[in-house]
Amino acid sequence: MSNIEILVENGRKELFEIFRDTSIGILSLRTASVTQLSDILPTLIQLKNLYLRGIFVGHCDLQLPASLHCISLQTGECSSEWLCSLLINLFALRHPVKCEFRSFVVQSCEGDFCADSNIQVSDLRSQLLECDMSNIEILVENGNKELFEIFLDTSIGILSLRTADSVVQASDILPTLIKLKNLYLRGISVVHCDLHLPASLHCISLQTGECSSEWLYSLLIKLSALDHPVKLELQSFVVQSREEDLAADSNIHVSDHRSKLLECDMSNIEILVENGRKELFEIFRDTTIGILSLRTADSVSHLSDILPTLIKLKKLYLRGISVGHCDLQLPASLHYISFQTGECFSEWLCSLLIKLSALDHPVKFELCSFVVKSRGEYLGADSNIHLSDLRSKVLACDMSNIEILVENGRKELFEIFRDTSIGILSLRTASVTQLSDILPTLIQLKNLYLRGIFVGHCDLKLPASLHCISLQTGECSSEWLCSLLINLFCIRSSR
């Protein structure tokens, strides 16, 4: 029954007895009938998700099945004691688990004193602080001060705040979360400027909201101070324009923040931008960001003139780049560029390979789900440099330091590689067939890595320069392997 979700609005004891020892996968209770289920819950040996509405302070003995991966408290209220007890029970599961607080209230201290409780909050707090909660993800939709006070000094691993008020309530507690690695924020706005970060943080995701330039400068400075690799995600997040910044009540000018940021070593910071405006990318200009990932074509176009100023950028990930974005200037520090999705003309790809060759150090170039348009498609394009001219320049380049990885490649892509001096080539699918007649022309190819090769791909001609071939996944016939070994012997003999 692991694929069955059961929702109970109003249930009696007889109903819940039917569930005992079954393998229900998802259970949702819409009233305080959770009390009817309390002794049955531990017997649900495949229960992964539990959703509760209308739970109240008196329901303190909630035993959890060992299989649980998510508990969602959607509406209701509880005492501090009950919540401490729940978190201790979640810790006891000994695997990653998510606890959601939607419109759920923790009673104030006065309410706690009125409750009939045998265990004092202080005793439970002591037990909670001894628990390793690094595998627990906490999501708070709407939380009051009393809720966040429970989290103070704990070892929560992941925290997700879904409203601006929750961010405000959690602001002074964040630095005490000594094992917090991932922080997800929604609804943060420019007035929430004092965000202190724990030293353990490895990822902060600003999912929705807006901020001033000053606030983002301040955040980047704090991330630099963490002194270990950290990821900053900016999804549907807006940096206000300069005119909007000037209207804000700001005691520290943008220029002061700029100066401080340019002094920071940001080479350990990875920045991911889902949707970014020009104002956002201007903040990155001349900084020492180490890794940058752009998820839309607009983001790529906004960054085009800023890229060469990123003097320590080593890795660049691009999604959604298309043929119109043709002027991609690269920083001299680049060691890795990945085109994850998109399309381009042959001319554009030739131009990029020439730029990669000019970097004059080893560089890895990934082409995942990326399409090179055929000659018929780009004949109508306004191109000042003909493909033949660019091909001549590519053939004159020393590409022996370039490693090219192709996830899914068409014939048009591999034709660009013909007769070039690529040093390392990695194919991740059975597209090795597309390359079969081009391989012998790669006169400086030393390393060839193949995944997904199958028995039908029998005619694999190898260049004389080859030093290593790695068959990573796939299958072949005995004949094919014998033929390959003979080819390798011939290469060795020719030397």
Tens digits of residue pLDDT in 203-216: 999 999 888 888 89
C-alpha–C-alpha distance, residues 334 and 328, integer Å: 13
Map tokens 């109903």 to a residue: 15
How many Å apart are CA 491 and CA 391, to the nearest integer? 28
Contacts of 194 (CB under 8 A, 6+ apart): 171
- Strands 336-344 and 315-321, by their bridges, are parallel
* Nearest residue to 331 via CA among 362, 360, 310: 310
334-386, pLDDT tens digit by residue? 999 999 998 888 888 998 999 999 998 999 999 998 888 865 544 444 454 56
Instruction: State the DSSP code for 235.
Output: E
Question: In the structure, what pLDDT confidence band is assigned to residue 453 with cuts at 50, 70 and 90?
Answer: confident
For 315-373, the DSSP string reads EEEEEEE-TT-------TT--EEEEEEEEE-HHHHHHHHHHHHHT-S-EEEEEEEEEEP
Contacts of 247 (CB under 8 A, 6+ apart): none
pLDDT score recorded for residue 358? 94
pLDDT at 251: 47
Query: How big is the CA angle at 409 (ends 393 and 327), to the nearest 5 degrees?
Result: 45
**Rounded distance between C-alpha atoms, residue 467 and residue 356, angstroms:** 23
Q: State the pLDDT at residue 59.
A: 56
Integer angstrom CA distances of residue 278 from 212, 227, 285, 302, 372: 13, 28, 11, 6, 28
Average pLDDT, the chain: 86
Which is nearest to 131 in space by CA: 85, 173, 99? 85
Tokens at 214, concatenated: 């000053």
Q: Alpha-carbon distance 487 to 495, whole Å?
A: 13
* pLDDT at 43 (0 to 100): 94
Average pLDDT over residues 89-112: 85
Tell me the C-alpha distance between 81 and 194, whole Å.
Answer: 30
Which uninterrupted H or E stretch holds 388? helix 387-396
User: What is 31-51 written as a DSSP string?
Assistant: STTHHHHTTTGGG-TT--EEE
Strands 363-372 vs 336-344: parallel, antiparallel or unpaired: parallel
> Residue 236, Cβ neighbours under 10 Å: how many?
12
The dihedral formed by the CA atoms of 72, 74, 77 and 80, expressed in degrees to the nearest 10: 30
Higher pLDDT, 111 or 91: 91
Residue 151, phi then psi, degrees to nearest 5:
-80, -15
pLDDT digits (tens, 9 = 90+) for 287-312: 999 999 998 878 887 888 899 999 99
In order of 36, 385, 403, the CA distances from 419 in angstroms are 75, 20, 15
Q: Would you state the structure tokens that stand for residue 130, as one six-digit string? A: 């001894």
> What contacts 176, CB < 8 A, 6 or more positions away?
152, 153, 198
What are the percentages of helix, strand and coil residues in the chain, rounded to 5? 35, 25, 40
pLDDT 10s digits, 391-428 = 899 999 999 999 999 988 888 889 999 999 999 999 98
Distance (Å, whole) CA 218 – CA 264: 11
Beta strand pairing status for 97-106 and 70-78?
parallel
Cα 375 from Cα 314, distance rounded (Å): 32
pLDDT digits (tens, 9 = 90+) for 227-271: 899 999 999 899 987 554 444 445 456 888 899 999 999 999 999
Q: Cα dihedral angle (391, 395, 401, 402), rounded to 10 degrees?
A: 20
Q: How far is CA 271 from CA 316, 369, 491, in A?
A: 10, 22, 45
Contact assessment for residue 463 and residue 441, using Cβ atoms and an 8 Å cutoff: yes
Predicted pLDDT of residue 381: 46
Instruction: Give Cβ neighbours of residue 175 (< 8 Å, ≥ 6 apart).
Output: 196, 197, 198
Q: pLDDT tens across 137-166, in order? A: 999 998 888 899 999 999 999 999 998 888
Q: What is the end-to-end Cα distance of the chain in Å, rounded?
A: 64
What mean pLDDT do residues 444-472 have? Answer: 86
- Report pTM: 0.86
Nearest to 262 by CA among 297, 226, 286, 295: 286
Give the chain's length: 495
Q: Please tell me the distance from the alpha carbon of residue 373 to that of residue 348, in angstroms, as a whole number.
A: 10
